[in-house]
Amino acid sequence: MSTFTLGLIQMRCSPDRATNLERAVERIRAAADRGAQVVVLPELFLGPYFCQREDASLFDLAEPIPGPSCEVLGRTAAECNVALVASLFERRAPGLYHNTAVVFDADGSMLGTYRKMHIPDDPLYYEKYYFTPGDQGFRVFNTKYARVGVLICWDQWYPEGARLTALRGAECLVYPTAIGWHPKERDEFGVGQHQAWELIQRSHAVANGLYVAAINRVGHEGPEGGGLEFWGGSFVTDPFGGLLAKASHSDEELIVVSCDRMKAEDTRRNWPFLRDRRIDAYDGITKRFID
């Protein structure tokens, strides 16, 4: 096939898990109806972003993979004949939890998981408390429709993750995400923060000559004047960093975009960055600092 079609579900996440799952299923169906072949949900879409505080009881939210949510999601993928990327809070063993994306193929089978490699820890994003860093490396999933590279949120700031996933033959990178503004910072820093976020991901498209999609949640979560205001802005960029579609900062949206394989190959032929990499000189990348 000369194209594949991405479906991005930008959604609010209510306090009720069953409701979120139900709404996700509805939207997967809606995306499939509009022609989407690879559908991606936002990071940890089953509930509010719980990492705003450190609370041991919240580990109860984690679930095994495969497990109950996977069952519903896999069934939905099969019914809709779509590949599906769904981000879950994985309980791997007692005391061992991951921020994990599960990839289902269009027949509902689980192709595998990607466990978030780069884990943030910032005010109201206390992820290092909850998530053990991924131990599977960077991964690509050969779905029925496309070879999909999966990364998660904080990974998006790391050119290394994008590059390593691209080198495994990804045709697109998808970033399930939960990122927002601190309401008190928004006036001063909001535009710059969002701009940097969009820019770094578009740059992965440029550097690697592939499609990139970010799938964010939307809406305010937490106490009034505090908490986090998730900024939406989900988007798809072409292999030269051009925006193909972009959601608003405030609304739930469904983005469906067709991606042309020949456009990607043309881009790489005309700007052949992969040809000229100095792999003899990149050793230092595995150092923390070169001092």
Query: Taking CB under 8 A as the rule, does residue 262 contact a second copy?
Result: no
Alpha carbon 201 to chain centroid, angstroms: 11
- Residue in the block written with tokens 């779509």: 82
Nearer to a second copy, 224 or 281 (CB): 281
Q: To which residue do tokens 């096939």 refer? A: 1
Residue 17 has a CB neighbour count (10 Å cut-off) of 16
Options 153, 171, 198, 229, the catalytic residue:
153
Query: Which of these segments, 46-54, 65-73, 104-112, 159-167, binds a second copy (CB under 8 A)?
Result: 159-167
116 is catalytic: yes
**Cβ atoms < 10 Å from Cβ of 105:** 21
DSSP run (H or E) holding 225:
none
Looking only at residues 135 through 154 of this chain, which bind a second copy when binding is defined by CB under 8 A? 137-138, 154
Question: Contact between 286 and a second copy (CB under 8 A)?
Answer: yes
**Segment interacting with a second copy (CB under 8 A) among 55-63, 91-99, 220-228, 264-272:** 264-272
CA atoms within 13 A on the CB side of 209: 17
Is the Cβ of residue 169 or residue 226 nearer to a second copy in the bound state?
Answer: 169
Contact flag: residue 164 with a second copy (CB under 8 A): yes
Neighbour tally for 275: CB within 10 Å = 8
Active-site annotation holds for 43: yes
Among 35, 64, 133, 226, binds a second copy (CB under 8 A): 133
Q: Using the rule CB under 8 A, which residue among 120, 183, 190, 222 binds a second copy? A: 120
Catalytic residue flag (residue 259) = no
Positions in 212-241 near a second copy (CB under 8 A)? 240-241
Told to check if 184 binds a second copy by CB under 8 A, we report no
CA-to-CA distance for 214 and 216, rounded, in angstroms? 6
Task: Specify which residues 261 forms β-bridges with.
Answer: none
Residue 245 touches a second copy, criterion: CB under 8 A: no
Q: Kindly state the number of chain residues that form the binding site for a second copy, as judged by CB under 8 A.
A: 54
Report the number of secondary-structure helices (H) and strands (E) in the chain: 6, 15
Measure the N-to-C terminal CA separation of the chain; round to a whole number of Å.
Answer: 49
Q: Which is nearer to a second copy, 119 or 236 (CB)?
A: 119
Between CA 141 and CA 170 the distance in angstroms is 8
The C-alpha atoms of residue 124 and residue 49 are separated, in whole angstroms, by 9
Active site residues: 43, 116, 153
Q: What residues line the site for a second copy (CB under 8 A)?
A: 117-120, 122, 133, 137-138, 154, 157-164, 167-169, 192-193, 195-196, 199-200, 202-203, 206-207, 240-242, 270-274, 276-291
